[in-house]
Chains A and B, each alone.
Chain A
Amino acid sequence: MKQFQYVRPATLKAALDVIGKPGVKVIAGGTNLIDLMKRGVTAPDKLVDINHLGLVDHQSLKDITETKTGLYLGSLALNSVVSENNMVAKRHPLLAMALKAGASPQLRNMATVGGNMMQRTRCGYFYDTTMPCNKRVPGTGCGAMEGINRMHAIFGASQQCIAVHPSDMCVALAALDATVHIAGKKGERKLPFTQFHRLPGEHPDLDNNLAKDELIVGIEIPDNNFAQNSYYLKIRDRQSYAFALVSVAAALEIENGIIKNARLAMGGVAHKPWRLFDAEKALTGKQPTEENFAQAATLAMQGAIGHGGNSFKLKLAPATITEALKHAAGLV
């Protein structure tokens, strides 16, 4: 890899002063960035290590804290720490399940919440610098569209790109109505989690709506009543340490045998965590039965398009939605 500078700012302000500049990259756990640097996919001149930033608003970016309305995860909280945290386990078991379904224990011990959100696609064409890829080098074409696209998107893809966002954690956070807290030079702003990642459209090089000179500082998850009935189901080529073919985060609030509230999001099917708003609506007010789940799953598949290698997902995705809902409802 190319020689690069490494800096370790001590305050958020100092970090924000450097990160927007060309050739500069933020490093958190490094589990994705270093791989990309080794493969020559990205070649920064300067790495800004944010692991040593002091307190931001009186708390460390590694902390997990209670707020008035929910739970707040600092952007540097480790995936392993979040997944083992008592408050998370009690209030949002869905998130803990999703995190534990991702990567391996070693990786989760390094990976951070912010890094996980910002991780790039695992598309093989993105990784191989000799191949065409509009995400890596805009204008070179999409290798996957007519190539090996077994892992690729069935929702929201464009002619430019059919890559998927590979995260598990983000699927749970999208389902749980989380909010992203973002710091920039002009101060902090908030973004609903579902609006953080974007679809490829004409700009597949952009994965999300974070500006170059901004940092993720944390995630807030509002309190909810889903803890009793939630489940993360990940279908993959081996039982652990593999990215999702399809994954589903399912959360239900069931009262007197009726679904009062539902949250559903899918992974492995789109350029962003794919929230199933229509299916959620369809489930609301219904009984938690396999039949109703299957109907919602069918609804969720509207607009899905297969590209050959990934066409099996048109069948696997609804099956996974139904299975996940059955688990969430305690039917299995």
Chain B
Amino acid sequence: MKTAINKTMPSSAEGMSRVDGRLKVTGAAKYSAEYTPKGLTYGVLAGSTITKGNIIAIDTKAAERAPGVLAVITHLNAPKVPGDQPEKGKAADAKGALKVFYDDKIYYNGQPVAIVVADTFERALFAASLVKAQYKTEKHITSLPDNRDKGFPPRGEGTYKRGTEDAWKLAPFKVEQEYIVPTVTHNPMELHAIIANWDTDNKLTVWDKTQGVKDTQGDLAHLFKLPKENVQVHSQFVGGAFGSALRTWPHEVAAILAAKVVKRPVKVVLSRADMFTSVGYRPFTWQKIGIGATADGKLTGITHEAAGQTSSYENFTEGPTGVSQSLYACPNVNTKYHLVALDIATPTWMRGPGEATGAFALESALDELSYQLKLDPVELRLRNYAQTDPGSGKPFSSKFLNEAYQLGSDHIGWKDRKQEPGTVKQNGWYVGYGMGGGMFGAYRAGATIRAKFNADGTLLLQSAVSDIGPGTGTAMVLIAAEQLGIPAEKIRFELGDSSLPNAPTQGGSATTASVGSAVYKACADLKEKFQKLAGNGATNNPDYTKILKDSGLPSLEVVSETDGGNGMQKYAMNSWSVHFVKVLVNAATGVVKIDKVACVSDCGKVISPKTARSQVIGGAIGGLGMALMEESIIDHRYGRYINNNFADYHVPVNADIPQIDALFVNKPDPIINPMGAKGMAEIALIGMAAAVANAVYNASGKRVRDLPITPDKVMA
């Protein structure tokens, strides 16, 4: 069994370093594509070159004859996926996940039409280029702005209202504006990859990039009608995902089908271009906000409309209008959210799903309002500070956002900000300050930990959780070290394996709150067991090794389970963030340089200061990318992405990133779990795009409402 941690963990003032850091930087960490089971073969997908229609013929002969090719699989010869077939006597579901190689239908450009398996990757790649499909094409639509009239409400989540509808219109001070968040692609550094092997006819093993080995196990068991325990999922290391690995995608099923056909392990690694069409993206979303306030800055009404894109075969919903419902104390709020089905692959959750999109609109609109009111934007927020959840009326489990505002303003030097835009110039550059914040539900789910204390003083913790980069292993080790009073170096945390005890999928910033609670309980259970074993005279901090030795036991083990807690019944539980940004803007060329960033998180108690800081910096950079440069561009005539590579799809590079300071309120939440820790991954990004847009306006007087804020939009 693999080890998720390394013994040498240099510690410093900022806290313990990542337990798997050395493995990662030395290349010893093994990612899904790096396993080499015996007889490994290579699969390469061939994608459709049309956007909508049917395959009328597919010529695979040249590919089959190409050197090294073992199989070419299309909808014509693919083994059936049992879970894709309609149940007996029932019609097929009208909508659902894309069924790969199921029939001749094409729903989006780049949809897999074949997988070619060969003995080497290069040969598979070449042979895949020889697969020639002929299509009957239908007229497609891929542009949301051109098709907004085709919007429909998603089931159950379309509209919301409290108080009077459109009350903002009657306010003496008001703003009504439209905002665009374009399609943004997760693009983690690690390409999605899977190695699939059928150990027997009904036993499947996969090494797969996934944020949740248990979910993947469940999905695959369902699709291939296998008992769960017959599906083994390994996902030891994940090189970033940001949501793209939260569900099971067609390439995973394609690899498993291919392995069935060639009766050998098959590896499929997506290309960078595939990453744009195969594993989701943040959906293009149009929004309109109407917001009104009294002369003294009290919000009287918010109307927030949003239309987000989805695919024609599946409805993907997120909650872009949620922030307008809960971020501020405003008596009248009505929101409307529509989906627009396009001939494009299904989007998926991406860091701060919904909230990041909604916060860009709301926090920009609030900023616009602050200029009308001639009121400091922080002050405007404080005047509308929600003491209880405005939607449900429930008390918050904890909220120290006001302290976060203070910390952030002090840190960035907010007092130097001039309310009048375009008034501060330094060396030919306009200087401006902006802020924007957000919130995200603080979730907690059930989890189980197996903990084994050995006679040599080491502790082994096991959980099926994935670690996609936040430092889960590190945080869990720290919780156990504190609870048991033993050195962190003695603790090992094993993860990323579906045979280990249950853990939720790593998403929604819920891992530390969920799995951490189970670790906490496991430690308490272990302690109790030790105390019982020691009998009379046991202290609160017993000498574990001595007790084991005295009782002649090699180890002591507990399996501890925790549920999601019941805090949600009585409390509104959220994490909060606010970002402060200082920018330099060249008015002539439109170039924006980020000069300084301060991110403040109110995420309860910080368990692992160093990895928490990294997590915030990463999220902030994601937010800066969203603000300034990220956009997946489609030529709507063809329905194809035009910048689907890392030369043309820009993510921030070092030169774009100044010092980013991560600050924490660091006050425990008394409700969510015994550690008092809430989620912090999503809030690190939510609100950042607005903070940048607001700073650009403050610097230059140029308001950009359609992301990304590229030079052409600023100079125009």
Chain A contact residues, CB within 8 Å of chain B: 1-3, 40, 122, 124-125, 127-128, 130-131, 143, 146-148, 150, 235-243, 245, 312, 315-316, 319-320, 322-323, 332
Contacts and interface: CB of A to CB of B under 8 A. Distances in A.
B629 interface: yes
Contact of A312 (B122, B645, B712): B712
Contact of A3 (B126, B642, B712): B126
Contact of A332 (B428, B640, B647, B716): B428
Contacts of B122: 1
B26 interface: no
Contacts of B590: 235, 316
A235 B654 contact: no
A240 B593 CA distance: 12
A38 B427 CA distance: 45
Contacts of A239: 593, 653, 655-656
Sort A-B residue pairs by CB-CB distance and give the 6 closest, nearest first. Answer: A239-B655, A312-B712, A240-B655, A124-B642, A319-B588, A130-B49
Contacts of A312: 712, 715-716
Contact of B647 (A122, A143, A322): A122
A323 B427 CA distance: 13
27 contacts: A1-B126, A3-B126, A124-B643, A130-B640, A131-B638, A131-B640, A146-B637, A147-B635, A147-B642, A235-B591, A236-B711, A237-B710, A238-B628, A238-B629, A239-B655, A240-B655, A245-B711, A245-B712, A312-B712, A315-B715, A315-B716, A316-B712, A319-B589, A319-B715, A322-B588, A323-B588, A332-B427
B633 A148 contact: yes
Contacts of B628: 237-238
Given A1-B122, A40-B129, A128 B711 contact: no
A2 B66 CA distance: 11
Given A143-B635, A312-B715, A240 B653 contact: yes
Contacts of B629: 237-238
Contacts of A143: 635, 638
Interface of B: 49, 122, 125-126, 129, 427-428, 586, 588-591, 593, 628-629, 633, 635, 637-638, 640, 642-643, 645, 647-648, 650, 652-656, 710-712, 715-716
Main SS of chain B's interface residues? loop
Contacts of A332: 427-428
Nearest to A2: B126
**Which of B126, B635, B654 neighbours the largest number of chain A CB atoms within 10 Å of its CB?**
B635
Given A122-B647, A242-B650, A235 B589 contact: yes
Given A2-B126, A40-B129, A124-B643, A320 B589 contact: yes
A21 B399 CA distance: 73
Contacts of A130: 49, 638, 640
Nearest to B109: A130
B621 to A, nearest CB: 12
Given A239-B653, A240-B655, A315-B715, A122 B589 contact: no
Contacts of B712: 150, 245, 312, 316
Q: Which of A235, A237, A315 has the most CB of B within 10 A?
A: A237
Nearest to B586: A323
Given A1-B126, A148-B635, A315-B716, A238 B655 contact: yes
Contact of B648 (A40, A124, A125): A124
Contacts of A147: 635, 637, 642
Most chain A CB within 10 A, of B122, B712, B715, is at B712
A1 B643 CA distance: 21
Nearest to B130: A2
Contacts of B638: 130-131, 143
